[in-house]
């Protein structure tokens, strides 16, 4: 029988058969049902989690499985209860003295419900507040086994992982496509304990010493008086800091390059930034830098697109990640290491490996692939997983050790410290997403939110009461033993080594490695950001920094700002470019690319049908754009419309195909009226929004196609049919095949003025 009905009957019983309804003055009894929306009364199985979603599979601190299935839905079971498990018969009405009377303080359900709601928010992360996460698996190739004893890097070992991508400066509710560094933090749940690689999509950092971290973040965050701008670096305090601390020049240059506005989390590289130390089974050590290389290549938005997306879809990156996983287009990265001999000076080819503002060009030390990361499951609860996940660079496993990079040292302190505030106590390792998949036996006890029921009386070692356990392990039993690195005898000083003083040669290498289009974008980015500063002195100081990188860069930005370009104050470094730093000039897989198919009721519906299927077969995403929602055509062949002219913007598509004559939408634009008013000769003019969509797609260097009369829409939007990357033809399918070729290069680069 129906449990809801049973519940209602029980209440009726409890109320000794009094007929239901407020008209009878029964406190808390439901009011009359809404005449239009009926409550479901038949119980049915809840919707299962989507196949791509799941909570963390974990092992409890005592080594017991946690019953992940049961924990998956809060609503397990048919009856609503209080937090204490008492069944409830009404959750929509407070307890009152009569239907129009005052609410009674004794309403324990109201009190509990509101109390809990009042505390639903926790402090957002002080940096990297906005993020999106995914579960996955890491499979090691075994190619690092000669340099590390880490079990999860042995041949063909599979390790569950959780990855959180983030922006740095913005609040939790800020937009995804701001110009910023992106966090790329990976939690490996290895059988030897958790290893966190808490990296970024930019391989260098703003500062060389952790003690400046509060300062750089204060400068980057909104101004304290008005709390603007949100999630931007285009403001005085940021530029004030990075021009006064010229060690920030390299990182800032990466931010102003296309790396600062990724197309997708799936098309970002990741870097461990610091130099780490690997330890092999015999105790031998090797210095390394960690890299994540996306299988789809490194791709970015163009600045105008990024700005438009912020308004159109502030969740652009998080939606893209979740959609791709849901669609089965699992994002993949190859994990790689650059290795360097662990020499006493810790430099490689003259590059100081302890200075986190340095990279080592891949041409000097190739990135050796050591495993594959596949993200294949979306979180099922954002708060429980993505928000509560707690990374820490000090979560290390045997075989992976740290170096004396002074930035890393501060991080080893900071990350634990911050969780105590953010996750309200020291027991955050017990939160499901943070629980290790290795047995935990830690003698840590009590504290806020302790959820383990520890048994035994002797949480100390050695003891003679709890059977002597736990014992400590030796290296042969998998203990973490710090590499016995010699610390040089020295005097205590607050100083950096002299090698940390070179702030311009690495930025110059980056600049020289860029293609003309990428340089143009960098000049545009600096010109935009510095023009947003109010202080003339800051702009002038910024130009001085740029002059020390390269005269062409400085002159370009100076022209944009309408200021004279200063002369360099240091000799320009004589460095060779590193071609690996450029994003342009390769072809990449097109998996997950989004193809907008613009059409209308009188469009080429057969062509659309065929192309839709080809897009899907190619592992891409077709979105049909039409004047109105619903379907196009009739019967079994009817085509579903995914975007209307009102909801589509070009920025969502990697390529656009106009199949037949697009129609005219009727809505706020009054487009239909406007069209009706046009002289007959201009009746073929498409909806102005189609024109805008095509013009933007063209300006942003996207592949554009037209078939069966779609050419007229292109021409009406001012797009020459013979422009690079514009394909016109009789069959939508043939046109699409050529668009795919163009998509492999990400954009039609020839369309950018600097490439012409």
Query: What is the spatial distance between Cα 203 and Cα 622, in angstroms, rounded to a whole number?
Result: 34
Residue 210 in the binding site for ligand HDE (CB under 6 A)? yes
Binding piece for ligand HDE, criterion CB under 6 A, among 192-200, 225-233, 524-532, 631-639:
192-200
Task: Annotate each residue in 128-157 with x if it binds ligand HDE (CB under 6 A) or - if it does not, as one string.
Answer: x--x--------------------------
Burial class of residue 682 in the structure, from the number of CB atoms within 10 Å of its CB (0-12 exposed, 13-18 middle, 19+ buried): exposed
Closest contact distance (angstroms) between CB of 233 and ligand HDE is 16
Q: Which is nearer to ligand HDE, 410 or 729 (CB)?
A: 410
The answer on whether 445 is annotated among ligand-binding residues is no
Q: Helices marked H in 423-504 — which ranges? A: none
Closest contact distance (angstroms) between CB of 180 and ligand HDE is 12
Query: What is the spatial distance between Cα 228 and Cα 115, in angstroms, rounded to a whole number?
Result: 32
Task: Annotate each residue in 386-425 with x if it binds ligand HDE (CB under 6 A) or - if it does not, as one string.
Answer: ---xxx---------------x--xx--xx--x-------
Question: If DSSP codes are grouped into helix, strand and coil, which group holds residue 481?
Answer: coil
The answer on whether 539 is annotated among ligand-binding residues is no
The answer on whether 411 is annotated among ligand-binding residues is yes
Q: Which is nearer to ligand HDE, 242 or 390 (CB)?
A: 390
Pick from 32, 54, 39, 51: nearest CA to 2: 39
Closest contact distance (angstroms) between CB of 654 and ligand HDE is 27
Burial class of residue 16 in the structure, from the number of CB atoms within 10 Å of its CB (0-12 exposed, 13-18 middle, 19+ buried): exposed
Rounded to 5 degrees, φ, ψ at 452 are: -90, 145
Query: What is the spatial distance between Cα 174 and Cα 126, in angstroms, rounded to a whole number?
Result: 14
Residue 389 DSSP label: -
Residue list 55-84, contact with ligand HDE (CB under 6 A)? none
Exactly one of 167, 175, 186, 200 binds ligand HDE (CB under 6 A); that residue is 200
CA distance to 597, 659, 701, per residue, from 712 (Å): 15, 11, 20
The count of residues interacting with ligand HDE (CB under 6 A) is 25
Angle, CA of 332, 335 and 340, to the nearest 5°: 160
For strand 276-279 and strand 270-271, is the pairing parallel, antiparallel, or unpaired? unpaired
Pick from 359, 350, 344, 636: nearest CA to 485: 344
Binding piece for ligand HDE, criterion CB under 6 A, among 196-204, 458-466, 689-697, 718-726:
196-204
Q: Which is nearer to ligand HDE, 209 or 326 (CB)?
A: 209
Closest contact distance (angstroms) between CB of 415 and ligand HDE is 4
Closest contact distance (angstroms) between CB of 210 and ligand HDE is 3
- CB nearest ligand HDE: which residue? 183
Q: Which is nearer to ligand HDE, 217 or 573 (CB)?
A: 217
Closest contact distance (angstroms) between CB of 177 and ligand HDE is 18
Q: CA dihedral in degrees (72, 76, 80, 81; nearest 10)?
A: -80
Task: Take residue 709 and report the two structure tokens written for it.
Answer: 């009369």
Q: Which is nearer to ligand HDE, 189 or 749 (CB)?
A: 189
Which residues are designated catalytic?
A: 128, 200
Question: If DSSP codes are grouped into helix, strand and coil, which group holds residue 740?
Answer: helix
Residue 273 in the binding site for ligand HDE (CB under 6 A)? yes
Q: What number of helices (H) and strands (E) belong to the chain?
A: 18, 20
Task: Annotate each residue in 336-365 with x if it binds ligand HDE (CB under 6 A) or - if it does not, as one string.
Answer: ------------------------------
Pick from 448, 418, 423: nearest CA to 433: 423
Query: What is the spatial distance between Cα 265 and Cα 650, in angstroms, rounded to a whole number?
Result: 19
For strand 594-598 and strand 621-626, is the pairing parallel, antiparallel, or unpaired? parallel
Closest contact distance (angstroms) between CB of 103 and ligand HDE is 40
Closest contact distance (angstroms) between CB of 185 and ligand HDE is 4
Closest contact distance (angstroms) between CB of 379 and ligand HDE is 13
Q: Which is nearer to ligand HDE, 495 or 634 (CB)?
A: 495
Binding piece for ligand HDE, criterion CB under 6 A, among 135-143, 195-203, 661-669, 702-710:
195-203
Pick from 251, 408, 274: nearest CA to 340: 274
Residue 185 in the binding site for ligand HDE (CB under 6 A)? yes
Task: Take residue 143 and report the two structure tokens written for it.
Answer: 């190619």
Q: Which is nearer to ligand HDE, 418 or 737 (CB)?
A: 418
Exactly one of 29, 130, 135, 164 binds ligand HDE (CB under 6 A); that residue is 164
Residue list 23-62, contact with ligand HDE (CB under 6 A)? none
Question: How far, in whole angstroms, is CA 191 from its chain's centroid?
Answer: 27
Query: What is the spatial distance between Cα 195 and Cα 397, in angstroms, rounded to a whole number?
Result: 6
Question: If DSSP codes are grouped into helix, strand and coil, which group holds residue 644?
Answer: strand
Task: Annotate each residue in 111-130 with x if it binds ligand HDE (CB under 6 A) or - if it does not, as one string.
Answer: --------------xxxx--
Exactly one of 140, 148, 166, 232 binds ligand HDE (CB under 6 A); that residue is 166
Buried b (16+ CB within 10 A) or exposed e, 293-310: bbbbbbbbbbbebbbbbb
Q: Which is nearer to ligand HDE, 167 or 339 (CB)?
A: 167
Closest contact distance (angstroms) between CB of 753 and ligand HDE is 35
Residue 22 DSSP label: G
Residues forming beta bridges with residue 658, ordered by sequence position: 598, 706
Closest contact distance (angstroms) between CB of 309 and ligand HDE is 22
- Residue pair 460/443 in contact (Cβ under 8 Å)? The answer is yes
Say whether the peptide bond before residue 470 is cis (omega within 30 degrees of 0): yes
Residue 428 in the binding site for ligand HDE (CB under 6 A)? no
The answer on whether 213 is annotated among ligand-binding residues is yes
Exactly one of 205, 340, 698, 736 binds ligand HDE (CB under 6 A); that residue is 205
Pick from 648, 545, 563: nearest CA to 597: 648
Exactly one of 56, 151, 183, 725 binds ligand HDE (CB under 6 A); that residue is 183
The answer on whether 121 is annotated among ligand-binding residues is no
Cβ contacts of residue 631 below 8 Å, gap of 6+?
A: 638, 639, 640, 641
The answer on whether 277 is annotated among ligand-binding residues is no
Pick from 418, 439, 419: nearest CA to 428: 419
Residue list 362-391, contact with ligand HDE (CB under 6 A)? 389-391
Q: Which is nearer to ligand HDE, 127 or 624 (CB)?
A: 127
Residue 496 in the binding site for ligand HDE (CB under 6 A)? no
- Residue pair 127/91 in contact (Cβ under 8 Å)? The answer is no
Helices 536-549 and 249-256, interaxial angle, to 10°? 100
Q: Which is nearer to ligand HDE, 354 or 547 (CB)?
A: 354
Query: What is the spatial distance between Cα 396 and Cα 400, in angstroms, rounded to a whole number?
Result: 6
Exactly one of 141, 152, 162, 213 binds ligand HDE (CB under 6 A); that residue is 213
Pick from 152, 161, 162, 153: nearest CA to 191: 152
Q: Which is nearer to ligand HDE, 185 or 719 (CB)?
A: 185
Closest contact distance (angstroms) between CB of 392 and ligand HDE is 7
Q: Which is nearer to ligand HDE, 210 or 726 (CB)?
A: 210
Write out the H or E segment, with its range, that includes residue 194: strand 193-200
Cβ contacts of residue 196 below 8 Å, gap of 6+?
A: 185, 186, 187, 188, 391, 392, 393, 395
- Binding-site entries for heme: 125, 164, 213, 411, 415, 422
By the criterion CB under 6 A, which residues form the site for ligand HDE?
Answer: 125-128, 131, 164, 166, 183, 185, 198-200, 205, 210, 213, 273, 389-391, 407, 410-411, 414-415, 418
């Amino acid at each position: 029988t129906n449990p809801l009905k049973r519940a209602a009957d029980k209440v009726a019983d409890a109320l000794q058969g009094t007929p239901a309804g407020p008209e009878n003055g029964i406190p808390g009894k439901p009011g009359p049902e809404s005449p239009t929306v009926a409550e479901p009364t038949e119980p049915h199985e809840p919707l299962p989690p989507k196949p791509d979603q799941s909570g963390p599979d974990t092992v409890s601190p005592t080594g017991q499985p946690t019953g992940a299935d049961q924990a998956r839905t809060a609503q397990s079971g048919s009856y609503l209860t209080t937090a204490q498990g008492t069944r409830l018969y009404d959750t929509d009405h407070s307890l009152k003295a009569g239907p129009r009377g005052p609410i009674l303080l004794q309403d324990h359900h109201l009190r509990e419900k509101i109390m809990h709601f009042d505390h639903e928010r926790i402090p957002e992360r002080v940096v990297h507040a906005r993020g999106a996460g995914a579960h996955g698996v890491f499979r090691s190739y075994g190619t690092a086994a000669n340099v590390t004893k880490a079990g999860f890097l042995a041949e063909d070992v599979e390790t569950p992982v959780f990855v959180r991508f983030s922006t740095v400066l913005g609040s939790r509710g800020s937009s995804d496509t701001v110009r910023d560094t992106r966090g790329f933090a990976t939690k490996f749940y290895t059988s030897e304990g958790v290893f966190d690689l808490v990296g970024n999509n930019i391989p260098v950092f703003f500062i060389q010493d952790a003690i400046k971290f509060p300062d750089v973040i204060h400068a980057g965050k909104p101004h304290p008086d008005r709390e603007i701008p949100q999630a931007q670096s285009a403001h005085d305090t940021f530029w004030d800091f990075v021009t006064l601390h010229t060690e920030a020049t390299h990182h800032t240059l990466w931010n102003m390059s296309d790396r600062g506005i990724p197309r997708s989390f799936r098309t970002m590289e990741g870097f461990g930034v610091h130099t780490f130390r690997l330890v092999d089974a015999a105790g031998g050590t090797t210095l390394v830098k960690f890299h994540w290389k996306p299988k789809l290549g490194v791709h970015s938005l163009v600045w105008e697109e990024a700005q438009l997306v912020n308004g159109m879809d502030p969740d652009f990156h998080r939606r893209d990640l979740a959609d791709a996983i849901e669609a089965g287009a699992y994002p993949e990265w190859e994990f790689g290491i650059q290795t360097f001999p662990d020499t006493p000076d810790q430099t490689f080819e003259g590059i100081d490996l302890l200075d986190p503002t340095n990279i080592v060009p891949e041409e000097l030390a190739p990135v050796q692939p050591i495993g594959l990361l596949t993200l294949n499951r979306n979180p099922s609860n954002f708060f429980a997983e993505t928000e509560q996940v707690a990374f820490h660079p000090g979560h290390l496993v045997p075989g992976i050790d740290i170096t004396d990079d002074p930035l890393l040292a501060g991080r080893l302190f900071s990350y634990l410290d911050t969780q105590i505030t953010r996750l309200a106590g020291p027991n955050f390792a017990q939160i499901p997403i943070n629980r290790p998949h290795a047995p935990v036996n830690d003698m840590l006890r009590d504290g806020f939110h302790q959820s383990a029921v520890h048994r035994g009386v002797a949480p100390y070692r050695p003891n003679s009461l709890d059977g002597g356990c736990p014992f400590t392990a030796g290296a042969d039993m998998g203990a973490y033993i710090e590499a016995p690195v010699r610390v040089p005898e020295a005097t205590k000083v607050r100083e950096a080594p002299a090698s940390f003083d070179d702030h311009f040669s690495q930025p110059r290498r980056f600049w020289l490695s860029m293609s003309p289009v990428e340089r143009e974008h960098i000049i545009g980015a600096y010109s935009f950001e510095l023009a947003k500063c109010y202080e003339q002195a800051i702009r002038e100081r910024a130009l001085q920094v740029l002059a020390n990188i390269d005269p062409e860069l400085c002159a370009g930005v100076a022209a944009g700002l309408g200021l004279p370009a200063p002369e360099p104050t240091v000799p320009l470094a004589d460095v060779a470019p590193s071609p690996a730093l450029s994003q342009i000039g390769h072809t990449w897989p097109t998996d997950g690319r989004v193809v907008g198919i613009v059409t209308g009721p009188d469009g080429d519906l057969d062509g659309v049908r065929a192309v839709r299927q080809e897009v899907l077969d190619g592992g891409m995403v077709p979105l049909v754009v039409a004047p109105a929602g619903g379907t196009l055509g009739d019967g079994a062949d009817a085509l579903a419309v995914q975007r209307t002219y009102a909801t589509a913007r070009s920025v969502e598509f990697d390529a656009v195909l106009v199949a037949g004559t697009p129609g005219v939408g009727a809505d706020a634009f009054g487009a239909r009226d406007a069209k009706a008013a046009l002289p007959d000769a201009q009746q073929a003019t498409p909806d102005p929004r189609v024109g805008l969509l095509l013009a933007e797609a063209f300006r942003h260097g996207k592949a554009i196609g037209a078939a069966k009369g779609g050419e007229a829409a292109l021409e009406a939007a001012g797009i020459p049919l013979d422009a690079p990357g514009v394909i016109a033809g009789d069959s939508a399918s043939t046109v699409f095949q050529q668009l795919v070729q163009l998509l492999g290069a990400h954009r039609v680069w020839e369309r950018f003025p600097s490439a012409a």
